[in-house]
Structure 1
Amino acid sequence: METFERARLDAYFGRIATRFAPQERAASFLITHLLPERPAFVRGVASVTDLRAVLPKPKSVQAEARRQVEADGHACDRLTREMFADPERAVRYVEARAAGRPVVLLDVGGYFTPALDALCDHFSGRILGVVEDTENGHKRYAERDKLPCPVVSVARSPLKDPEDFLVGQSVVFSTEALMRSRGDILHGRTALVIGFGKLGSSIARLLHAKGVRVTVYDIDPVRRTQALSQGFTVARDRTSGLKDAGLVLCATGSLALRGEDFPQLCNGAYVATVTSSEDELELNGLPDIYERAHIGEHVTRYLTTGHYFYLLNGGNAVNFLHGASVGPFIFLVQAEILAASAMLARGELDPGMHEISPTDRAAIAATWLDYFNR
């Protein structure tokens, strides 16, 4: 990032912080992708909260971004699902970093859900609430019978719509780049998009624009009707969709392909995902059946008698290979995360799911336009 770009971004987050910052700063823990533009967002979080630790998502850490965050004086701790799957371990961790403090948890993907009750009941301070950034995480919190604290979700905010569309674009770009590295192209290929939410629908439209024959499958019949109304072929079931697809893109945020699904892939099919392999793909049983070979950078061939397919980026989010950039539009939802953090820090929300107000969203959008609509 150029010096003048960093200065503009810091000024933008500074203005957002000035508008939303609470009178007293709560401590915070930030789970985030550490991509090239992310240090400015981390500084923004530190301006509205007392940032106790950054927990980078392990499969999306850019080394220079991490160095910048640490140079700014912020601890970067190792993040695993197991870290918060064990409630006692989670309480010990938060206790060590923020004992006795009011705390805001900034989440990407529902990492804190397994330990949330224990944190609210046994932490020496007070968990003021959680800010959740993703649809997958939103579902994990919303599906709980009872939340012990407020959760402010930005996953379904209209300010996130540009990001979702552009993430879809970056997924298609990276998928095509890896295919081209082997001499293959998208044009003329058949594809199955599993999941027709905001990301999946974006991917389907972009693939269609590139001359790909797109079939959609979603477990939700409402989304299947939406896909059909937009002109896509809709598979009756996942298996029938897999058999004809030369490319399978998984965009569910949950388990998209089970072990028994992989033998249904047509020979030479490419498989890519928009989230981590642990969420989308059941790969554990495959090494016993298939021989694996790395046949190119970030391309793995799975081969057994009479059958083979290619897995891109080890099954992890393919767009992170090329920075997953969505341009300045990412700063819209990051500003909303700052506003949500301040909202929780005031300690006025009841347990349950919440959003920030349309008025605050409009203020964020207007501020963003001042800085980036040039």
Structure 2
Amino acid sequence: MTSSHTLTHSYYSAFYAEKGFRFLEQIAKDYALPDNLVVFSVMHCYEGTLPYLNVLCQLADHVIFLPKQATFCNNSSLLNTIETIENCQTVAPGFDKIALRDPACCVELIRRYTTDEQAFLILDHGGYFAHGAEAILETFSNACVGIAELTANGVAKYRNRHLLKPLVSVAHLSIKTPADYEASECIVHYTDQILREAFGLKLNNQGFLSIGVIGSGNLGRGICKTLQGKGIHELYVSDQDPRRLTAMPRNGIQVCSTETMLNHCNLIFCCTGNGALHTAHLQSRRENLFVATVTSADDELNLPELIHNGTLRYIGGNALVKEYKNQHKASIYLLAGGESANTPFKTGMGDPTLYLFEAAHLLAGLQLASQNHGYAAGIQALSAQDEIFIAEQWLRFFYHYS
């Protein structure tokens, strides 16, 4: 591997960049990839992306970077830095999350950046290619080496699809848990900051805000824990799977249905990644509601459909808040515009837990591309042995583990 790399967009992000880069290099060092491999990589437009992207670009012949819209809108200048990375190209306008819901658009994207029978790998994040997966794998059955997906909501979008090649998920690995809890802390912190900046409110303004959390996975539990750490003890939690709720009452949290929560709460954290709130929840609302999500309003509310069917009407907003009204003229305030509530703010490399899930995603992709693996067609997880390998390497690089 060459030592030439671009790891930072600004001086203040450099603290962990080199260390993270070397760690990811170590994860990748034993893999040889096919000549002329093209990688389609869906990633956040964060500075924390740069070490990962640099390692990827040193391994592949060409990397097509598809920025996730939530962070691209707030960090578009970072694309200028990304474009300086050798072998890296930002995807052409028009191939965004909404457009890729059309399978024909997905096929067109692959055709634009590959030649006949040229091998390619998809590193997905949030199921961007899920709607077109069957068309891609049928059209390019010999060229596509497989798909690696980073998130649980992304994997859910691939379920019940006929996949002719392996899809390796790293969504539910135990080593992803620290980053999920870090994300939970960030989301609560920045939700508080948005409320203060835009409304003059604080999360712990008892009497003004009553808080509910939909979803009790890693992110939902982390948000509850962080809220309690801020002195907020009257919390409501719902989940489609009642098994997940059984641990909540012993922690002083009220369990309920989503409908009951909406009767009691005016601030909702949506932590499912897949349809936390539905049309019926919002069209009958008669009081204002604040909504924060851990993914996006598309995933958690199906916002385009709510607008299309007239349930919500856009009023206005900015990078911190977007306001919609329903038929009863109740305002629905989407904090961070409906994206994950930490996306309006800068994310650098100061948290090494970011590199755990990046390493897992990278390793899954390298295994697929090297074609020296035991994966079958369809969805499966990275192995426990691989997860242990990543954890040991990470502990050595960042915490002198031996």
TM-score (normalizing by structure 2): 0.84
Aligned to 1:311: 334
Q: 1:111 aligns with which of 128, 134, 141?
A: 128
Cα pair 1:108 1:137 within 8 Å, conserved:
yes
More strand by share: 1
- Letter paired with 1:240: T
Mapping for residues 343-362 of structure 1, pairs under 5 Å: 343-347=367-371, 348=373, 349-362=375-388
Aligned to 2:140: 123
Residues 244, 266 of structure 1: alpha-carbon distance in 2 compared, 3 angstrom cutoff: farther
Q: 1: CA distance between counterparts of 2:180 and 2:243?
A: 20
| Worse-matched range after superposition: 354-363 or 173-182 | 354-363
Aligned to 2:44: 33
Query: Are residues 1:75 and 2:97 paired?
Result: no
Shift of the alpha carbon at 1:206?
Answer: 1.2
Cα pair 1:246 1:266 within 8 Å, conserved:
no
Aligned to 1:334: 358
Q: 1:152 aligns with which of 164, 168, 181?
A: 168
Q: 2: CA distance between counterparts of 1:43 and 1:306?
A: 49
Aligned to 2:17: 6
The DSSP-based 3-state class of the residue aligned with 2:146 is strand
Residues 191, 72 of structure 1: alpha-carbon distance in 2 compared, 3 angstrom cutoff: same
Q: Unaligned regions of 5+ residues in structure 1, if any? A: none
Residues 264, 166 of structure 1: alpha-carbon distance in 2 compared, 3 angstrom cutoff: farther
Q: 1: CA distance between counterparts of 2:241 and 2:228?
A: 22
| Worse-matched range after superposition: 289-298 or 10-19 | 289-298
Q: 2: CA distance between counterparts of 1:52 and 1:98?
A: 11
Mapping for residues 195-344 of structure 1, pairs under 5 Å: 195-212=215-232, 213-235=234-256, 237-262=257-282, 265=285, 267-283=287-303, 284-285=305-306, 293-294=315-316, 298-302=320-324, 307-323=330-346, 327-344=351-368
Q: 2: CA distance between counterparts of 1:266 and 1:367?
A: 53
Deviation digits for residues 107-134 of structure 1, max 9, x if unmatched? 0111222222222222274211100000
| Worse-matched range after superposition: 94-103 or 44-53 | 44-53
Deviation digits for residues 264-302 of structure 1, max 9, x if unmatched? 557343211111111112445469577755577623444
Count of aligned residue pairs for this structure pair? 371
Deviation digits for residues 64-95 of structure 1, max 9, x if unmatched? 43222111131111442344333333223212
Q: Unaligned regions of 5+ residues in structure 2, if any? A: 1-7
Q: 2: CA distance between counterparts of 1:38 and 1:161?
A: 19
Shift of the alpha carbon at 1:306?
Answer: 7.0
Aligned to 2:5: none
TM-score (normalizing by structure 1): 0.89
- For the aligned residue pairs, the C-alpha RMSD in angstroms reads 2.6
Cα pair 1:132 1:152 within 8 Å, conserved:
yes
Deviation digits for residues 298-343 of structure 1, max 9, x if unmatched? 2344457674443312222211012356711111111111211111
Mapping for residues 50-199 of structure 1, pairs under 5 Å: 50-61=61-72, 62-73=75-86, 74-77=88-91, 78=93, 79-99=95-115, 100-123=117-140, 125-141=142-158, 143-144=159-160, 146-181=162-197, 182-187=199-204, 188=206, 189-199=209-219
Q: 2: CA distance between counterparts of 1:185 and 1:158?
A: 33
Q: 2: CA distance between counterparts of 1:296 and 1:315?
A: 11
Shift of the alpha carbon at 1:150?
Answer: 0.4
Q: 2: CA distance between counterparts of 1:115 and 1:14?
A: 31
Shift of the alpha carbon at 1:13?
Answer: 2.1
Residues 185, 147 of structure 1: alpha-carbon distance in 2 compared, 3 angstrom cutoff: same
Q: 2: CA distance between counterparts of 1:23 and 1:52?
A: 13
- Letter paired with 1:216: V
The sequence identity of aligned pairs, in percent, is 27
Residues 240, 22 of structure 1: alpha-carbon distance in 2 compared, 3 angstrom cutoff: same
| Worse-matched range after superposition: 3-12 or 337-346 | 3-12
Shift of the alpha carbon at 1:198?
Answer: 1.3
Deviation digits for residues 199-254 of structure 1, max 9, x if unmatched? 1111112112212221001112222324335432111x222111211311111111
Q: 2: CA distance between counterparts of 1:364 and 1:199?
A: 22
